[in-house]
Chains A and B, each alone.
Chain A
Amino acid sequence: MIWANLSVLQIVVPLLTAPLCLLVRNGRVAWALAWIASAASFGCALLLASRVLDGGVVVAELGGWAAPWGIEYRVDLLNAFILLIVSGIGTVVLWSARISIDVEVEADRQGLFYTAWLLCLAGLLGIAVTGDAFNLFVFLEISSLSSYVLIAMGRDRRALTASFQYLVMGTIGATFILIGIGFLYMSTGTLNMQDIAVRLPELGTSRTVESAFAFLTVGIGLKMAMFPLHLWLPNAYAYAPGAVSAFLAATATKVAVYALVRFVYDIFGESFSFGAMPLSLILTTLAVLAVLVASTAAIFQENVKRMLAYSSVAQIGYTLLGVGFATAAGLTASLTHLFNHALMKGALFLSLGCIVFRHGTVIREELAGLGRRMPWTCGAFVLGAISLIGVPLTAGFASKWLLLSAAIEIGWWPVAVVVVLGSLLAVIYVWRVVEVLYRATDDAPARSEAPLSILVPTWILALANVYFGVFTEHSVGFASSAAAWLTGGGS
């Protein structure tokens, strides 16, 4: 009962702290409340993860109603890992938000900001924790609606159009997901994920099930910014407040990838997804295109935040590659990359947040000589950037290596070449920024480093990139046991 209640509290604490933040007029107090709630969620996630790693599945029946009738929360190896990523990164990023949000959001809206943040966190965690397909849609809407609000709070007026664009695309995505879930309900008569997974093979393939699969794949693809459906992402990340970019880049797309993995491997099952449906071909093709096209687009961006946003589209490509391989090794690489990408994008976007705080702009050409003005900030950026490229001893290397070996294992050499080529493109776009940051300028600028309350979280994430690059046993170990459980007929 304790464990079951922990999985519920993980969601309920941020969900109930959110209205509290709205009532508190003071931005600082709202921040403190939000941070405590977020840290509490992280604590729950840690406890749940330790429990699940010991070989248990935590099941909570909401309202005391047993599974196929009531909603159940079900924490297994896969979503315990996702819960850790979302709540952990959320807590670190929120730590940095206190000062940066003071600058970027008007004082009277700060309570609202933290309310939306907590709702977004609760929604994302809810998507991961729930074992009910319709409940997943509800949480998806909670997180989406609040993320539209968060993005629209950016200082730049273009944040409004970016948010509206995301709203339109996101709503289409959510509608597709709902249609997919509706079709599943129509053919199986149940909404519980485990129950659907049991009933689907008995039904065989039918048009309804195939349509459900197609709608779900496209809908989730829209939410995760899968390559041709990524158009909302660059603007949304570029014009949102800095902390929001870091938070969403590190968590929101990850949760969408989780939803895809859950539906493909656990609910529909591998034999249907990769046997009856050509998902492997579709995902791999789109992922290869994502890596090549988005990385190339990133090279030509003037705005560094926008550049990182395009890079995120490319990184989602890497993640999908592993899912498309349909092997345990590929899935391990994908899940590891989810974690590692959250670390690197978190560090990179937070260091840009530092730059915005002191310098006011992230247009590349205006950053000349910043390496001497803000050495620690730029150091964190470089650390995140080399992890993004995949230099050995960083987290990025670990996941790229796994991805390469997974591709070679099934003999997909061209795909392996694309992975390496993507890294080379990453060298180009990252180098263009690093070169400007450390370019010699005529005047010797005074040092004006960002305040410690932003710098420390940035460095925590930057050093985590090194830590999880050297000591891979925790991240890769967790990911591989989750992948083995999913592909080994876990359900």
Chain B
Amino acid sequence: MKINPVLRIVSKVMIPLILLFALYVQFHGDFGPGGGFQAGVIFASAFILHAMVFGMDAVKRVLSAGMLKALMCVGVFLYGGVGVVTMLLGGAYLDYDLLAETPTGGQHLGIFLVELGVGITVASVMITIFTAFAGRGRGQ
């Protein structure tokens, strides 16, 4: 793969666009189709493409196994934490209304944070699954 120039150049052009599209799906999720899960998968696919074309080590330099593990947990904490915060504010679990001045603002903020949590966890889990399989037989 490393000597195939078409693949290298096309993926170099595509990867930023894939990442941008992932962010679009993430942040436009509350108004249109999309959301954290899809965005996370798209975001991870950019890293997976990079790993397939340029090798695993390049990805590992940016995202180590420990960092991926931490990101997985951060996403879950973000999601669950929003629920705990709404409970502490005196509401039901994940009742976003209480998060901001107005219920509408609260709903916006709540769904944004929760979807962000989903996106982070899904992206890091996808990359972890890929590296776990791709790392087999290499003593990693």
Chain A residues proximal to chain B, CB less than 8 Å: 1, 4-5, 8-9, 12, 15-16, 18-20, 22-23, 60-64
Q: How far is the CA of A20 from the CA of B81 in the complex (A)?
A: 13
- By the criterion of a CB under 8 Å from any partner CB, how many residues of chain B are at the interface? 19
Please indicate the chain A residues that have their CB under 8 angstroms from the CB of B81 in the complex: 16
Q: Chain B, 90-104, contact with A by CB distance < 8 Å: what is the 0/1 string?
A: 111111110000000
Please indicate the chain B residues that have their CB under 8 angstroms from the CB of A61 in the complex: 92
What are 20 A-B contacts defined by CB distance under 8 Å?
Answer: A1-B90, A5-B92, A8-B83, A8-B92, A12-B83, A12-B93, A16-B76, A16-B77, A16-B81, A19-B76, A19-B77, A20-B73, A22-B69, A22-B72, A23-B69, A61-B92, A62-B94, A63-B92, A64-B91, A64-B92
CB distance from A64 to the nearest CB of B (A): 4
Residue B105 at the A interface, CB < 8 A? no
Please indicate the chain A residues that have their CB under 8 angstroms from the CB of B56 in the complex: none
Please indicate the chain B residues that have their CB under 8 angstroms from the CB of A62 in the complex: 92-94
A22 and B73 contact, Cβ closer than 8 Å, known pairs A5-B87, A8-B87, A12-B83: yes
The number of inter-chain residue pairs (CB within 8 angstroms) is 50
CB distance from A122 to the nearest CB of B (A): 11
CB distance from B117 to the nearest CB of A (A): 11
Q: Which 7 residue pairs spanning A and B have beta carbons closest together?
A: A19-B73, A64-B95, A63-B94, A8-B93, A16-B80, A19-B76, A64-B92
By the criterion CB–CB under 8 Å, are A5 and B70 in contact?
no
A12 and B95 contact, Cβ closer than 8 Å, known pairs A22-B73, A23-B73: no
Residue B84 at the A interface, CB < 8 A? yes
10 further A-B pairs in the complex, CB-CB below 8 A; given A8-B92, A62-B92, A63-B94: A1-B90, A5-B87, A8-B87, A18-B76, A23-B73, A60-B92, A62-B93, A63-B92, A63-B96, A64-B91
Q: How far is the CA of A4 from the CA of B80 in the complex (A)?
A: 17
Q: How far is the CA of A61 from the CA of B72 in the complex (A)?
A: 27
A23 and B93 contact, Cβ closer than 8 Å, known pairs A12-B80, A12-B83: no
Please indicate the chain A residues that have their CB under 8 angstroms from the CB of B91 in the complex: 64
Q: Chain B, 46-82, contact with A by CB distance < 8 Å: what is the 0/1 string?
A: 0000000000000000000000011011001100110
Chain A's closest residue to B93 (CB) is A8
Q: How far is the CA of A306 from the CA of B113 in the complex (A)?
A: 47
Chain A's closest residue to B70 (CB) is A23
Please indicate the chain A residues that have their CB under 8 angstroms from the CB of B80 in the complex: 12, 15-16
Chain A's closest residue to B111 (CB) is A63
Please indicate the chain B residues that have their CB under 8 angstroms from the CB of A12 in the complex: 80, 83-84, 93
Q: How far is the CA of A20 from the CA of B72 in the complex (A)?
A: 11
